[in-house]
């Protein structure tokens, strides 16, 4: 039997779709790129690296990654219009890998934040930055996933991370991830090597909240109780005996002398179960509860010591700033 094959040519609809995609990406890039900057960092021993950032106000405030500028001695910002300006570090937060800088300039083009809670998988995502020093590089892809978590430089978990396949490389750190309206949906922060197309951005809603506090106070206030912990499973018989709904807790593996936990009578080997009635099944869950509004406030910590369930009063203190 003979088969006849008919070549299917691309119809005008395909060309229109391609053209619409190109226009969406190029339009967003054109709107956003004047607000994107290249940042060069000098440490105490010379050049320490470079990355990206973007203006969030017309009077010179800009956002970037903490891991890029933390501990920097000198910061230089290169604008899209060719200007080269010195920048001051207003504040940074290693726990969320975000930092705020400021340059002495006015009437700057700046980017607006989109609502990252409205972002959906599959929507177009456009990254702008300076990968490998190539300034104003534009890459495009889609939002691949939402609600991811990354471990920050401090060891705390950064939640609500956006995953994208828009290509990111060293130097993209701190640059914006924008939607087709040129609004920021995330701050580019990390890639997974040697994987391809797995890149991450800090959600815009997180960035907006952190930025407000960095501009106001230069840091994010958090509380601490002074324990080194690890996640451990609970014995089933203890869960049944004490009617515990959680199956894991936080084992105190280390205790700072004279810390809130030490003063509260906690010991190494105790297993933390809850703080003020909120369960602490993991170290990350405990970190989320230790917010700035708990500083100096009395709380009740629930824990296991051997087979005994105990509750002690504890007063978290403010976490010292990291050097």
Q: For residue 287, what are the CA distances in angstroms to 58, 105, 284?
A: 35, 38, 5
Pairing label, strands 308-314, 278-279: unpaired
Mean pLDDT computed over 164-170: 91
The rounded percent of the chain whose pLDDT value lies above 90 is 72
pLDDT value at residue 4: 52
Q: What is the DSSP string of 86-137?
A: EEEEEEEETTTTEEEEEES--S----PBP-GGG--TTSEEEEEE-GGG-TTE
Whether pLDDT at 37 is above 60? yes
Q: For residue 82, what are the CA distances in angstroms to 77, 85, 125, 135?
A: 10, 10, 26, 11
Whether pLDDT at 185 is above 90? yes
Bond preceding residue 194 cis, omega within 30 of 0: yes
Alpha carbons 300 and 284: distance in angstroms, whole number: 18
Numbered ranges of CATH 2.30.42.10 in the chain = 223-318
Phi-psi domain of 253 (left: phi exceeds 0; alpha: psi -120 through 50; beta: other): alpha
Known catalytic residue: 242? Answer: no
pLDDT 10s digits, 294-307: 999 999 999 999 99
Whether pLDDT at 90 is above 60? yes
- Per DSSP, what are the bridge partners of residue 249? 232
Alpha carbons 54 and 47: distance in angstroms, whole number: 21
In sign, the C-alpha dihedral spanning 221, 227, 232, 236 is: negative
| The token pair that represents 176 in the structure block | 């914006």
Query: How would residue 52 be classed by pLDDT, with cut points 50, 70 and 90?
Result: very high
Mean pLDDT computed over 267-283: 95
pLDDT value at residue 11: 58
Whether pLDDT at 159 is above 90? no
**CA atoms within 13 Å, Cβ hemisphere of 59:** 1
Q: Are 74 and 59 in contact (CB under 8 A)?
A: no
Alpha carbons 218 and 197: distance in angstroms, whole number: 34
Known catalytic residue: 173? Answer: yes
Domain 223-318: give its CATH architecture: Roll (2.30)
Alpha carbons 136 and 77: distance in angstroms, whole number: 13
Numbered ranges of CATH 2.40.10.10 in the chain = 116-206
Known catalytic residue: 97? Answer: yes
Q: What is the DSSP string of 197-219?
A: S-EEEEEHHHHHHHHHHHHHHSS
pLDDT 10s digits, 217-262: 898 889 999 999 999 999 999 999 999 999 999 999 999 999 999 9
pLDDT 10s digits, 54-73: 999 999 999 999 999 988 89
pTM (2 decimals)? 0.80
Kindly indicate whether the domain formed by 116-206 is annotated with CATH number 2.40.110.10.
no
pLDDT value at residue 19: 83
Annotated catalytic residue within 116, 130, 173, 204: 173
165 DSSP 8-state letter: -
pLDDT 10s digits, 113-150: 999 999 999 999 999 999 988 899 999 999 999 989 88
Q: Which of 94, 65, 63 is nearest to 322 (CA)?
A: 94
Annotated catalytic residue within 92, 93, 97, 270: 97
Annotated catalytic residue within 33, 38, 52, 67: 67
């Amino acid at each position: 039997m003979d088969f006849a094959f008919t070549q299917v040519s691309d119809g005008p609809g395909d060309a229109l779709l391609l053209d619409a995609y190109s226009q969406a990406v190029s339009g967003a890039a054109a709107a956003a790129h004047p607000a994107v900057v290249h940042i060069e960092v000098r440490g105490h021993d010379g050049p320490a690296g470079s990355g990206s950032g973007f203006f969030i106000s017309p009077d010179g405030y800009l956002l970037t990654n903490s891991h890029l500028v933390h501990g920097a001695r000198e910061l230089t910002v290169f604008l899209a219009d060719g200007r080269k300006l010195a920048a001051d570090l207003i504040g940074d937060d290693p726990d969320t890998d975000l930092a705020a800088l400021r340059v002495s300039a006015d009437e700057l083009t700046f980017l607006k934040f989109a609502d990252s809670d409205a972002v959906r998988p599959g929507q177009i995502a456009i990254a702008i930055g300076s990968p490998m020093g190539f300034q104003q590089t534009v890459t495009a892809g889609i939002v691949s996933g939402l609600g991811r978590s990354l471990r920050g430089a401090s060891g705390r978990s950064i939640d609500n991370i956006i995953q994208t396949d828009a290509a990111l490389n060293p130097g993209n750190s701190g640059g914006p991830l924008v939607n087709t309206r040129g609004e920021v949906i995330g701050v580019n922060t990390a890639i997974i090597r040697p994987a391809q197309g797995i890149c991450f951005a800090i959600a815009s809603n997180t960035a907006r909240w952190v930025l407000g506090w960095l501009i106001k106070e230069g840091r994010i206030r958090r509380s601490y109780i002074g324990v080194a912990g690890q996640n451990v499973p609970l014995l089933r018989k203890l869960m049944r005996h004490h009617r515990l709904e959680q199956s894991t807790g936080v084992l105190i593996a280390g205790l700072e002398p004279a810390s809130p936990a030490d003063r509260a009578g906690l010991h190494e080997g105790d297993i933390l179960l809850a703080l003020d009635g909120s369960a602490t099944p993991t170290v990350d869950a405990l970190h989320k509860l230790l917010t700035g509004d708990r500083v100096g406030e009395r709380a009740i910590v629930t824990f296991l010591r051997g087979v005994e369930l105990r509750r002690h009063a504890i007063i978290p203190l403010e976490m010292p700033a990291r050097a």
